[in-house]
A = this chain, B = another copy of it.
Amino acid sequence: MEKVTLSVSGMSCGHCERAVKGALEGLNGVHHVTVYLQEGKVDVEFDATKVDIAVLKQAIEEQGYDVA
């Protein structure tokens, strides 16, 4: 299991938090997601044999947020 902290801009409310969290949790290989709304950070625990960071970033961006 790996863990990455992504910097995500544009998350402004609880709806945003749920949109990002839900998109990531829907990916095969993602085990746990914690969104820090105020800090603009998302912690993701994932199985690197099933999913990679590029896919995580894409899922966030598809929800309309930018990943640093």
Interface residues of A (CB under 8 A from B): 10, 12-16, 19, 64
Kindly report how many copies of this chain are found in the complex they form together.
2
Q: Roughly how many angstroms separate A68 CA and B14 CA in the complex, as a whole number?
A: 21
Residues of B close to A13: CB separation below 8 A: 10, 12-13, 15-16
| Chain B residues, Cβ within 8 Å of A64 | 14
Nearest chain B CB to A11 CB, angstrom units? 8
- CA distance in complex: A23, B67 (Å): 31
A53 to chain B, nearest CB (A): 25
Contacts of A19 in B (CB 8 A): 15
CA distance A15 to B13 in the complex (A): 9
What is the CA–CA distance of A13 and B9 in the complex, to the nearest angstrom?
12
